[in-house]
């Protein structure tokens, strides 16, 4: 059922892109009701406006906190046009219809993000606006509610296509979008208050989203909710898939660990199969690739430095899914774009989250992100021999990789290069054996290498196996009741071992 718009209430914080709508409504003979800055805006366009204060008989009071909260306004939105009793009461109280409501909300999230004082943040909690939005959305049968400037282009199309008389389907769609706006707004306010109050309630609202081709497997539906465009510019290739996004997340988080070095990582199924640092991005890539030339096929690649032509010429020899970098030299980009399906991402910002969550059983599990990166100041030497400077650098390098690898994990490395890792094993011994076998298969001699573990050694067996293969230094959290067994073995064989006191399980 179409409803002709005869009178519109318009009161918005953001007025950009509003002008074409005002002109079109005026063309259809719509009467305007407004207040404050929006009233002035419409009047400057040459149209007559009835002030809300005239409609209600009350001025704006309490510093603007109370303007529209009045039966003359809410009655005009909420009374049912097909209900005889409502029509009689509207006539009795001289309440005219408000068929279109265009209202947005004070910029609460933007004010919080700006670091404003609490007093200023509280003043940006909208009362009248959110009440008007809810009223218009509830009575979608009779009123059309527009709750965000992001909806202006769609509103313009609806008005043009319906000759100023939107359909019921139009009104119901805008009502759904309105409740999306209000629920998101309330969630943001709750999150602000809950920083201090710590109420055990989970709320997370993300308004931007995209449907993916499928989920983890083709028979599963998938979607991503978030603003990917704020983080990446896609320069080439097909649309990112669910699995692509999971691996991109792993790659970006790992390469972010190497802030002061030129680093390159290669990810396969969220685990690193190659990691290296070097003086040039080309050298870093070649060292990372050497760690596992098999798994790199079809992998996700990431670096924290500009891809130049020299690096691109080497990378271009490999079939890979995605390459992520903060910048590309023009000639490098031209070469890499020769494969049309190859996804090239320009990373515009770092990951800045502090919490993570996922569905679990019949609810959601949440935790702080593991933002702790082991540093030299965290290291406690527990053996008679302390690691050398070169060994210490290698240990910290290996620890960064172990932090981002599925548990149980063992990482074998030299300074600036991953040699091999054992990932996702049910025992730490199995992880070590997997790493040793993998290093051997790609021609690495692990004598003089270091070993990192994401959690403590429950027995001395891992250090015994490591020593047998020539590994000289170990980094682990410590904390086992049998720590001394591992320490004693290391001392007997001149191995160095450091404890960090920090476990890095990843499941």
Cα–Cα nearest to 75, from 142, 173, 24: 142
Q: What is the DSSP string of 11-72?
A: E-S--TT-HHHHHHHHHTTPEEEE-HHHHHHHHHTT--EEEHHHHHS---BTTTTBSS-SHH
CB of 437 closer than 8 Å to CB of 466: no
Q: What is the DSSP string of 195-239?
A: HHH--S--------EEE-S-SSSTTS--EEES-HHHHEEEEESS-
Cα–Cα nearest to 413, from 339, 347, 474: 474
Tell me, yes or no, if 138 is annotated catalytic: yes
Task: Name residue, tokens 């408000």.
Answer: 98
CA dist 256 and 250 (Å) reads: 10
Task: Name residue, tokens 């909300």.
Answer: 105
Active-site pick, 15, 124, 138, 469? 138
CB of 306 closer than 8 Å to CB of 327: yes
Q: What is the DSSP string of 233-284?
A: EEEESS---HHHHHHHHHHHHHHTT-TTSEEEEEEETTEEEEEEEESSHHHH
How many residues are recorded in the chain? 507
Active-site pick, 28, 124, 184, 269? 269
CA dist 311 and 280 (Å) reads: 8
Here the contacts of 458-464 (C-beta below 8 Å, separation 24 or greater) are 458/428, 458/482, 459/485, 459/486, 460/485, 460/486, 460/488, 460/489, 461/429, 462/410, 462/428, 462/429, 462/432, 462/486, 463/489, 463/490, 463/495, 463/497, 464/489
Residues 6+ apart with CB under 8 A from 476: 452, 453, 455, 456, 457, 497, 498, 499, 500
Cβ–Cβ contacts within 10 Å for residue 73, how many? 25
For the four alpha carbons of 146, 150, 153 and 158, in that order, the dihedral sign comes to negative
SS3 category, 324: strand
Expressed in angstroms, the distance from the first to the final Cα of the chain is: 53
For the four alpha carbons of 460, 466, 471 and 477, in that order, the dihedral sign comes to negative
Tokens of 120: 């200023």
3-state helix, strand, coil in the chain (%, to 5): 40, 20, 40
Tokens of 274: 């190659």
Active site positions, annotated: 138, 269
């Amino acid at each position: 059922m179409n409803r002709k718009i005869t009178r519109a209430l318009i009161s918005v914080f953001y007025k950009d892109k509003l002008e074409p709508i005002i002109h079109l409504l005026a063309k259809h003979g719509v009467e305007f009701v407004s207040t404050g800055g929006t009233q002035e805006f419409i009047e400057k366009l040459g149209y007559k406006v009835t002030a809300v204060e005239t409609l209600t008989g009350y001025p704006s009071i309490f510093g603007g906190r109370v303007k529209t909260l009045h039966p003359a306004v809410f009655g005009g939105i909420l009374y049912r046009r097909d209900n005889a009793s409502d029509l009689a009461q509207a006539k009795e109280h001289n309440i005219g219809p408000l068929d279109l409501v265009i209202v947005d909300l004070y910029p609460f999230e933007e004010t919080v993000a700006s670091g404003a004082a609490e007093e200023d943040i509280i003043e940006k909690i909208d009362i009248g606006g959110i009440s008007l939005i809810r009223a218009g959305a509830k009575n979608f049968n009779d009123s059309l509610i527009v709750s965000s400037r992001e909806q202006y282009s769609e509103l313009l199309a609806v008005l043009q296509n319906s000759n100023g008389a939107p359909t019921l389907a139009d009104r119901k769609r805008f009502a759904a979008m309105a409740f999306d706006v209000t629920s998101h707004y309330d969630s943001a306010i709750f999150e602000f208050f809950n920083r201090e109050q710590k109420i055990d309630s989970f709320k997370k609202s993300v308004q931007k989203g995209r449907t993916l081709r499928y989920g983890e497997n083709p028979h599963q539906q998938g979607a991503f909710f978030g603003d990917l465009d704020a983080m990446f510019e896609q320069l080439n290739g097909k649309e990112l898939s669910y699995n692509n996004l999971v691996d991109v997340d792993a790659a970006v988080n790992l390469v972010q660990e190497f802030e002061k070095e030129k680093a390159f990582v290669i990810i396969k199924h969220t685990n690193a199969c190659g990691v290296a640092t070097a003086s040039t991005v080309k050298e870093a890539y070649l060292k990372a690739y050497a760690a596992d030339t098999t798994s790199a096929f079809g992998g996700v690649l990431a670096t924290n430095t500009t891809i130049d032509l020299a690096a691109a010429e080497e990378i271009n020899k490999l079939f890979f899914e995605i390459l992520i970098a903060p910048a590309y030299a023009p000639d490098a980009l031209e070469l890499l774009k020769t494969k049309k399906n190859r996804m090239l991402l320009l990373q515009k910002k770092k990951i800045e989250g502090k919490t993570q969550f996922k569905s679990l059983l019949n609810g959601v599990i949440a935790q702080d992100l593991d933002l702790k990166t082991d540093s030299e100041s965290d290291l406690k030497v527990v053996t008679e021999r302390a690691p050398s400077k070169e060994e210490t650098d290698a240990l910290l390098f290996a620890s960064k990789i172990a932090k981002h690898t599925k548990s149980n994990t063992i990482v074998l490395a030299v300074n600036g290069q991953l040699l091999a890792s054992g990932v996702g094993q049910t025992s730490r011994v199995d992880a070590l054996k997997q790493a040793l076998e993998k290093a051997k298969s790609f021609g690495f001699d692990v004598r003089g290498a270091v070993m990192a573990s994401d959690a403590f050694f429950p027995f001395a067996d891992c250090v015994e196996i490591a020593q047998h293969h020539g590994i000289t230094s170990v980094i682990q959290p410590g904390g086992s009741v049998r720590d001394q067994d591992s320490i004693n073995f290391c001392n007997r064989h001149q191995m160095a071992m450091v404890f960090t006191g920090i476990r890095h399980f990843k499941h």
